[in-house]
Amino acid sequence: MDVISLISGEIGAKTWQVEAAVKLIDEGNTIPFIARYRKEVTGSLNDEQLRALSVKLSYLRNLEERKQEVIELIDAQGKLTDELRAAILAAEKLVTVEDLYRPYKQKKKTRADAAKKRGLKPLADFIMRQDTDHPVEEEAEKYVTGKIEPASDSKEDEIKASEKEVLDAAAAIAGASDIIAEDISDNAVFREYIRNMTRREGSIISEAKDSEAESVYQNYYDFEEGITKIAGYRILAINRGETEKFLSVSVSAPQERILGYLEKKILISDNPYTTPIIKAAAADSYSRLISPSIEREIRKELTEKAEDGAIEVFGKNLKQLLMQPPIAGQTVLGWDPAFRTGCKLAVVDPTGKVLDTTVIYPTAPHNKTEEAKKVLRSLIKEYNISLISIGNGTASRESEQVVAGLLKEMPEAGIHYIITNEAGASVYSASKLANEEFPEFDVGQRSAASIARRVQDPLSELVKIEPKAIGVGQYQHDMNQKKLSDTLTGVVEDAVNNVGVDLNTASFSLLSYISGITSTVAKNIVDYREKNGRFRSRRELLKVAKLGPKAFEQCAGFCRISDGDEPLDATAVHPESYDSARALLKKIGCDVRDEGKISSFKKNLKNGKALADEIGCGEITLMDILTELEKPARDPREDMPKPVLSSDILEMKDLKPGMKLKGTVRNVIDFGAFVDIGVHEDGLVHISKMADRYVKHPLEVVSVGDVVDVTVLEVDEKKGRISLSMVDRR
């Protein structure tokens, strides 16, 4: 099996690019480092391609290991042939390897095993020769033992005796049929054909266990859809409905055609004595052995494919959320809403420092609205608050009404508010990390501080939370948690390294996602900083405990130092390219700070290759250096849509069909996107209402954080549902 060719086809890259990337990964280089600083080597493979490559490489290597295991296991039985070895080595999927191994695999005790113990294998072989000229019952009589008396009265001897008994010819033929059925089931060619036919022509069927029961799964109470057509989100919904005991799920297949195929393959003559027995054995083999197994395999495949799709969407949503632009330079009031326990507030200055915390009770059952407003006015005046960040959890709507009412009373203050996705805030506030960061605060105060910081710098705050707890996906609790965690961790790594970190201010959480930096090293960096003060240069990282040359190579370009001893340390230029960068600046006749001159030089550059050769780097690296020097330490989040700030409030009763609004995409799922339009419930834009064209997946059109224009289609206040359209039909 050509691993490199298989991977190159899957990720859409040339074989030399894949070979280079595999070599770099095997040498211990991280994906962010390879994507950013080894473009010359890989032909500019991006982080998404490299992560897909890494996953596929791991799968194929595990597949190769399993092939060798299977070959050794079959060889140990003395049953390995050259043809079988070749078939195993040529397999491109694990299921194919397992099909080939199936006849040699140690199974639990089966009916066929019991028949073989009774000595009925020769009778099965006799039937399969299909050349008898007398009834099989006559041949079967030779195998009848009658009742066998045990050697003693012990239970063990009774069992041994019963295991050898063949009471009559019918029992002998039944045992031989069990052997034939298992042989048919173990045939790898038959299984592959049946599996493929079931995939192509089969359907998923779900039915209600109780058709009168109300549940969110009512769409699936009488449901059938082809295996090739069924959407991933439907598979995940059906699986959950089955787990919660609302649904019965099965796979239908073209059974008559499958049995016809088996009979055509197995029957070599139309023998009146053996053909009926073989047909019955084939039907038994399919219904009892093959069909349940294939059904499990196909449902597992569908689930894994659905999970992969959902994880991919979750990852893209998370990346967009992490890459939302910071609202910098503002003192923010973080508001963690609640009813009975009161709304927790935290005032956070532009650097993220918590200046004050308190609790107010404007919501039911207390309804101390005026008292709460008095506290708010005092905080706004004392700390010059310019933005209020309200969590979108319980009592968010009621809190928003209080804030909107207050801002109407003091328009001169020019204050805005924003509804902030607080998913995961409670996880963070109860974590060990939050306890270390705010030992004097309770969980409510920590949560309020987090809600404030989420708008000041979403990335820095969200990295403190386990990625899957952030909640921008669908059915995340129903899928393979390791695969989900690995994928989302990779997304966070890519986002953090894409933005880079200030080495002198970055938290432990941010540092631990930087390429080449482990949790231990991240802690050591923070400890070194506290003990020795600011880092003056990137090279000083080599003094940090357990951060050696390899880790330095991986992390240095992503760690920035402003106002340090080396101006290039404030840029994304890697230290390995400093000599080339200095030679370039000398060629231009300027220093790092002369952005205008660098930009002009880049615009007028005619022969990049010649210049790259002159300064001692590749052409791609040259252009990366120029881009970086043109805008040193540019934050890529600047290109993302800015958050929508509010000063007034809408209620669901205010919405009317045809109303045009601006909203922020909060979540993207397989069948549409949920958009925050400033009321308590997010509205749904169905995939069919996203564009004046066919849209295969909503991510083709929108991403989390996008600001979009929508039209209200329908409002159901009772169910709290809002239907929106992004297609202007004027």
Q: Are residues 384 and 441 in the same domain?
A: yes
- Give 216-238 pLDDT, tens digit per residue: 899 999 999 999 999 998 999 99
C-alpha 240/C-alpha 220 separation (Å) is 11
Q: Are residues 251 and 348 in the same domain?
A: no
pLDDT for 110 = 93
Number of compact structural domains in the chain: 4
Give mean pLDDT, residues 145-153. 87
pLDDT for 654 = 83
Q: Are residues 128 and 249 in the same domain?
A: yes
| Domain contains 507 | no
As a whole-number percent, the residues of the chain with pLDDT over 70 amount to 99
The answer for residues whose C-beta is within 8 angstroms of residue 52's C-beta and 6 or more apart is 10, 11
Q: Give the domain-ending residue among 436, 456, 476.
A: 456
| Domain contains 557 | no
**Cα distances (Å, whole numbers) of residue 281 to 126, 140, 165, 172, 198:** 14, 16, 21, 13, 20
Name the amino acid, one letter, at 624.
Answer: D
In the numeric block, the tokens 């609205």 are attached to 369
Lowest mean pLDDT among 12-21, 169-178, 503-512, 679-688: 679-688
Q: Give the domain-ending residue among 435, 456, 477.
A: 456
Contact 41, 83 (CB under 8 A): no
Beta bridge partners of 709: 662
| Domain contains 380 | yes
C-alpha 543/C-alpha 528 separation (Å) is 9
**Is 163 a residue whose pLDDT tops 90?**
no
- Give 58-106 pLDDT, tens digit per residue: 999 999 999 999 999 999 999 999 999 999 999 999 999 999 999 999 8
Residue 407's CATH number: 3.30.420.140
Q: Give the domain-ending residue among 38, 59, 89.
A: 89
| Domain contains 174 | yes
Q: Are residues 362 and 304 in the same domain?
A: no
Residue 256's CATH number: 1.10.3500.10
C-alpha 283/C-alpha 723 separation (Å) is 50
Q: How confident is the model at residue 471 (pLDDT cuts 50, 70, 90)?
A: low
pTM to 2 decimal places: 0.83
Q: Are residues 282 and 229 in the same domain?
A: yes
pLDDT for 478 = 77
Q: Are residues 124 and 271 in the same domain?
A: yes
Give mean pLDDT, residues 201-220. 95
Q: Are residues 231 and 339 in the same domain?
A: no
State the residue range of the domain holding 205. Answer: 111-309
| Domain contains 51 | yes
Q: How confident is the model at residue 649 (pLDDT cuts 50, 70, 90)?
A: low
Give mean pLDDT, residues 203-218. 95
Helix, strand and coil percent figures for the chain, each rounded to 5: 55, 10, 35
pLDDT for 730 = 45
Q: Are residues 248 and 200 in the same domain?
A: yes
Q: Are residues 85 and 115 in the same domain?
A: no
In the numeric block, the tokens 């929108």 are attached to 702
| Domain contains 404 | yes
Residue 41's CATH number: 1.10.10.650
3-state secondary structure 188-248: HHHHHHHHHHHHHHCEEEEEECCCCCCCCCHHHCEEEEECCCCCHHHHHHHHHHHHCCCEE
Q: What is the mean pLDDT of the chain?
A: 93
Q: Which of 670, 696, 174, 694 is nearest to 684 (CA)?
A: 670
Give mean pLDDT, residues 243-248. 96
The answer for residues whose C-beta is within 8 angstroms of residue 599's C-beta and 6 or more apart is 630
Give mean pLDDT, residues 357-362. 97
C-alpha 404/C-alpha 66 separation (Å) is 63
Residue 667's CATH number: 2.40.50.140
| Domain contains 496 | no
Q: Are residues 260 and 358 in the same domain?
A: no
Q: What token pair was written down for 596? A: 């205008």
**Is 727 a residue whose pLDDT tops 70?**
yes
pLDDT for 593 = 78
| Domain contains 353 | yes
In the numeric block, the tokens 């280079």 are attached to 20
Is residue 365 reached through a cis peptide bond, with omega within 30 degrees of 0 on the bond before it? yes
**Is 358 a residue whose pLDDT tops 50?**
yes
Q: How confident is the model at residue 519 (pLDDT cuts 50, 70, 90)?
A: very high
Q: Are residues 157 and 29 in the same domain?
A: no
Q: Are residues 159 and 287 in the same domain?
A: yes
C-alpha 232/C-alpha 242 separation (Å) is 15
Residue spans of alpha helices (H) in 533-646: 549-555, 578-588, 595-604, 608-615, 619-630
